[in-house]
Chain A
């Protein structure tokens, strides 16, 4: 093609030169021939440009020569691009359709919390409007103060339960997941059913315990009266005593159930009142020593004067449960050690015993309600089976956690860890 073009140019020059020579004006002939050539090429260039501008509407022009080559190249590039675009559009459409089919709402947020994109469910739940809400900050639309705090606290925190104004009867669970650079994904799930079931369960336990308490009180009252009745046949005394023991145990279980359901009902963490854990442990130690049967050695190591911010009654019931367990499972020649110390990770309280220990497989399930390591233990000790569940709940409400370490045959250590935010450093005495 380029050979042709060159040949044509040479031919033009030759014709110009010949015509000029014939007319006696060599250079003028050459100039006219070249000008005509330039005009002719420019026309083609113009037609090419015109086509490129209105590419969508016109068929490619027939220009002949080198120009046809250029037109074919451009048309090919154009076709390829359109193909790519279509494929991308299909992928995007499929992606959008699949996210629209999701039962949960999804909102993608940019770094400053503006809405970048959302799926159909999210639009339905939050009443987001098509294109209009792209770029609007999410906290301008979900204005609940809890949500603003949640957004600031950042990701990784537990999902937030919320009512939104658009759908006041439903409970929504909102969860933030980080992705990309500073971007976040907001997952919205309708958890009305689960929440309702959970409330029903809690209410049921609380109500049932309450309802059981009154008849039990009546039974215990009559049993007490009968036991002290002098006219009673001596043969009836042992069964009566057993009945009283069992009634007491039932009362203890119901009492613990009520404590647990009260702990569950309060979801906020108690406001901090300084609690002197050292003094509390000292009192608990005395309680153990005043029992008719107690381990030979009960030691107490208070290594810090720091106090703990929390609810005194709850903390007392948690520590008392731990100490009580230790006392129950430690033989008379055993040893209980209580420790209270603090470091950079917060404050810690541990209770170590030299009891029979706990099989490793049982440790994770220990804080479940009514869980027994083996059936024999419950009868022997007569606990309610709820003690460690109470401990776990109390610690959770104080931002802490329970750590259990045990070796079978040698003993166990229960450690309560409290976060530094809960520790009130002791004022040093001068």
Chain B
């Protein structure tokens, strides 16, 4: 329980401020998740109205990023937080950048689906894209859940999913190339699909980043650019060392 509670402060206003900024980050996360879900269904159902909606709502995501950034700066300037609180604020300022990028990728997919909606839909309704999208959605969801619960262990699962996403993306690319060689008239569409898959793969990377911020926030360890196994053993070691 103490992992989810922010450390108690003499000034409860400070606590409220931290809690509020974290809640607004998660709210932005919810909006971005929604955008991702919508753009994927717009793609698979060739729903151009929904795609246009995603493109329009990206503005909200951007505004939220600016607002949260300002709130973080204000806390840094007026409260001079230290240790855990400082790590929380730093993690939030980083996470909103990643979330904003995810929003951009969702907009990109929406624009692609606007273009694809004018073409005939393939019989499988972009099965591969939907599968990849599902994986990436889960990743983002897990990463944000870990943020909400300050759960470093759950955050560790996200990079594992990222490997799966990378493999999936790889095989999709190969498949697209095969289709292009079989039928050169399809090249235009296949390129678009590759772009959408690429955007999803990027979303996976951003989700992984967010999960890494959670680990940083809870354990104070920077685990970027570190191999997964090493991260795990390092965190295990720390946890073991802490218990007498």
Contact = CB atoms under 8 A, between A and B. Distances in A.
Interface string A132-150: 1111110111011101100
Majority DSSP secondary structure for residues of B touching A: helix
Contacts, number: 51
Given A136-B4, A148-B27, A165-B137, A141 B34 contact: no
Contacts of A144: 30, 33-34
Nearest to A146: B34
B30 A148 contact: yes
A131 interface: yes
Majority DSSP secondary structure for residues of A touching B: loop
B34 A140 contact: no
B84 interface: no
Interface in B1-57: 1, 3-5, 19, 22-23, 26-27, 29-31, 33-34
Given A132-B149, A133-B149, A137-B23, A143 B1 contact: no
B151 A141 contact: no
B29 A143 contact: yes
Interface residues of B, number: 22
A165 B141 CA distance: 7
Nearest to A141: B148
B26 A140 contact: yes
A132 B29 contact: no
Contacts of B1: 131-132, 134-135
Contact of A139 (B5, B27, B33, B151): B27
A342 to B, nearest CB: 33
A132 B151 contact: yes
A133 B4 CA distance: 8
B128 interface: no
B114 interface: no
Contact of A136 (B30, B137, B149): B149
A139 B4 contact: no
A132 B31 CA distance: 25
Contacts of A166: 141
A129 B148 CA distance: 12
Interface string B140-152: 0100110011010
Nearest to B33: A143
Instruction: Kindly state the interface size class of chain A when it binds its partner.
Output: 10 to 19
Contact of A165 (B5, B138, B149, B151): B138
Contacts of A148: 27, 30
Contact of A135 (B4, B22, B23, B145): B4
Interface in B126-181: 137-138, 141, 144-145, 148-149, 151
B26 A143 contact: yes
Interface in A161-179: 165-166
A145 to B, nearest CB: 5
A141 B1 CA distance: 16
Given A132-B151, A136-B149, A165-B138, A145 B4 contact: no
A140 B23 contact: yes
B34 A145 contact: yes
B88 to A, nearest CB: 14
Nearest to A134: B1
A145 B27 CA distance: 7
A137 B5 CA distance: 11
Interface string A75-91: 00000000000000000
Pick from A134, A141, A147 the residue with the most CB of B within 10 Å.
Answer: A141
A48 to B, nearest CB: 35
A147 to B, nearest CB: 8
B23 A139 contact: yes
Contacts of B5: 135
Contacts of B145: 141
Contacts of B3: 132
Pick from A133, A134, A147 the residue with the most CB of B within 10 Å.
Answer: A133
Contacts of A129: 149
Nearest to B141: A165
A132 B4 contact: yes
A137 B22 CA distance: 10
A133 B132 CA distance: 29
A145 B31 contact: yes
A142 to B, nearest CB: 8
Contacts of A137: 19, 23, 148
Contact of A143 (B138, B144, B151): B144
Contacts of B138: 165
Nearest to B27: A148
The 6 closest A-B pairs by CB, nearest first: A143-B30, A140-B148, A140-B26, A165-B141, A145-B31, A136-B4
10 contacts: A129-B149, A132-B1, A132-B4, A135-B1, A140-B22, A140-B26, A141-B148, A143-B27, A144-B33, A144-B34
Given A143-B144, A144-B30, 5 more contacts: A135-B5, A137-B19, A141-B148, A143-B29, A144-B34
